[in-house]
Amino acid sequence: MLHFFLFFLFKLAFALGFDASSKSNVAVYWGQASAGSQETLASYCQSDDVDIVIISFLYSFPNPLGLDFSSACSSSFSDGLLHCEQIAKDIKTCQGLGKKVLLSMGGATGSYGFTSDSQAEEFADKLWNTFAGGSADERPFDDAVVDGFDFDIENSQPDGYVAMAKKLRQYFDSASKDYYLSAAPQCFYPDASVGDLLENANIDFAFVQFYNNYCNVDKQFNWDTWLNFAQNISPNSNIKLYLGLPGSSTAAGSGYISDLSVIKSTVQSISGSNNFGGIMLWDASQGFTNEVDGATYAAQMKKILSEDVTSASSSKSSSVAVSSSTSASSTSSASSVLTSGSFTPATLSSGTTYSTVSSWWSIPASSLVAASHVHGSQSATSDISTVLSGSTPQTLTSATGSATQPSAISTTQAVSSSSQIILSALVIPSSPSSSECSPSITSTAVNTLSSSSSSTASQSSTLSTTYTSSAVSASSQGAPVTNSKNFTTTLAPTTVPSYAPSTTSSVPSSSATGSWAHQRAKELNAQFAAGQLNGKSECQDGEITCSADGKIAICNYGSWVYTQCADGTTCFAYDNNDTVYTSCNFSYMKSSYV
């Protein structure tokens, strides 16, 4: 009987224990009731779908301290600092259930920041004594001790946080319990507010916000930029990266993903790295009231992580595109993508037979760094000769078939952890002028993959792709008119040196100076410089533009939200491969587009 009881206690302790090294943790922010109302902190901790709760926010510091947890706490000390007895009890309840509770500092609104490192270090002392293992006359959570602190700094004032984090680490190292530090950067890299902190301090978790940004999962998803940071830049090589998502369609202006299959495939693609930690949701009130396919969104996230992380590829370089596929051989590191079609078997020069592929070809790529869109429905047949990098280069000598293009198809290129360039898609750049016409296109492409990079930041890799294609237009009667053209594009990997490079830089080159895309980029930049943003009186959620002073502006709930670009970058419009982009980019490039 005693043996059984001890075994039960062991199993219970194991079940309740928090595993910081896990790839299937779900972190939720709590306190702001962004859905309009929220349950108690303890109620969310009682769910098996939550592992970390980040209570938000400590919105004013260093002096005075200001806390806000919506309606969850209203009592205060005589000086106005909140005194939250129920939250204190809930923190202990959460910790008793094996959950970690972090206190988040900052937020989108508030008054916070430091004028010097010494001021930040002094505040670290105050933070430790007020919320963690120290002691103070006024403790908002009484004797409850949080498990660490989260830096959700969003005011583009990075000074002092490295010094503060290092001072907190000194306290943590001498404590009897585990403490954690986390940061919540925007997905564009480096983040203007916490970029310096992440690159120079030991941070345990990065809750990367892939929403309200141009680098959302469904846009120019740049997970591999963050993976490169984790593996090659972060002082903590074991830092855990979390895929930050909105908990519902009302939680953010853009970035919410209702299609669970997209999240499932994304997790399968990015969770191969040991730096993957799980999913972060903004916020608990949204993720637990939003139901998708019969379960809460938070529960669906936990289910996806529990089912798919273990089956993810163990490859060091993550995949970006999604769904099952067939690759040329075990030694090949590149393949092509086409969203819909059925292809006949083809034989590789090595003698390996290509089996029939339906629905998708895989993209074992590392990141999406560009996307050009083709609208309309087209049929296509092509002969492709592709040099695949591997231990033995192989050439696909014949591959023909027909396919239907979707309303938008992306051309992407990527960089693996070894800085190898992968061309992941063949895109037919032309589209019919009439949606009623479905012309046929025949094209031939020779895609050469090369890499000249090494582990040093001073070198970079370029990919030069030459297409010979037939551009198709449609007359009013629907009869296709074919015009042949040749063009070459040079694309760049996700990461490039932060300094102004030489003339051999792999920064994306613009389209021809007389092209419509280049002229449109110039027009947009003139519009931005005049302070006209999108040129309209209203904006649509997720729309991106630039302010006159170089900030990136993203429409959120019908209003513009401005974010300072990182050092050395500014916001402007630019073009590449007949596509116009608006984002933060290197400042020295702007002169080519004005």
- Could you tell me if 540 and 436 lie in one domain? no
Residue 510 pLDDT level (bands cut at 50, 70, 90): low
Is 381 part of a structural domain of the chain? yes
Helix-, strand-, coil-residue percentages of the chain, each rounded to 5: 20, 25, 50
| Domain termination site, one of 308, 330, 348 | 308
At 16 the pLDDT is 53
Say yes or no: 304 and 323 in one domain.
no
Same domain, 78 and 108: yes
Domain holding 531, by residue range, is 517-593
* Bigger pLDDT: 202 vs 426: 202
Q: What is the pLDDT of residue 275?
A: 98
Is 154 assigned a catalytic role?
Answer: yes
The CA distance from 557 to 540, in Å, is 8
Quote the pTM value.
Answer: 0.58
Same domain, 325 and 294: no
Looking at the domain assignment, is residue 295 inside a domain? yes
Domain tally for the chain?
3
Domain-embedded: residue 486: yes
Which of 70-84, 358-372, 578-592 shows the highest mean pLDDT? 70-84
Q: Which of 281-295, 498-512, 533-547 has the lowest mean pLDDT?
A: 498-512
- For residues 340 and 187, the model is more confident at 187
Looking at 308, 340, 367, the residue that finishes a domain is: 308
Is there a single domain that holds both residue 303 and residue 326?
no
Residue 374 lies in a domain: yes
Q: In terms of domains, do 270 and 329 share one? A: no
Partnered with residue 61 across adjacent β-strands are 112
Do 201 and 224 sit in the same domain of this protein?
yes
Short-list 464, 453, 412, 449, CA closest to 224: 412
Q: Give the Cα separation of 261 and 299 in Å (integer).
A: 14
Residue 302 sits in the same domain as residue 379: no
Pairing, β 569-576 against β 341-343: unpaired
Q: Is the C-alpha dihedral spanning 381, 384, 389, 391 positive or negative?
A: positive
The residue from 39, 85, 122, 154 that is catalytic is 154
The verdict on residue 153 lying in a domain is yes
- Same-domain status, 221 and 356: no
Q: Are residues 353 and 372 in the same domain?
A: yes
For residue 326, give the amino acid letter: T
Domain shared by 274 and 355, yes or no: no
CA–CA dist 31, 285 (Å, integer): 9
Q: What is the pLDDT of residue 225?
A: 97
Are residues 222 and 366 located together in one domain of the fold?
no
pLDDT tens column, 124-133: 999 999 999 9
pLDDT exceeds 70 at position 419? no
**For residue 503, is it within any domain?**
no
DSSP state of 121: H
The pLDDT of 450-478, averaged and rounded, is 35
Q: How far is CA 434 from CA 340, 380, 484, in A?
A: 21, 17, 19
Residue 508 lies in a domain: no
Last residue within a domain, chosen from 263, 281, 308 = 308
Nearest to 500 by CA among 437, 391, 586: 586
Do the domain assignments include residue 502? no
pLDDT band at 202 (very low <50, low <70, confident <90, very high): very high
> Using one digit for the tens of pLDDT, what is the confidence trace for 41-93?
999 999 999 999 999 999 999 999 999 999 999 999 999 999 999 999 999 99
pLDDT of 388 over the 70 cut: no
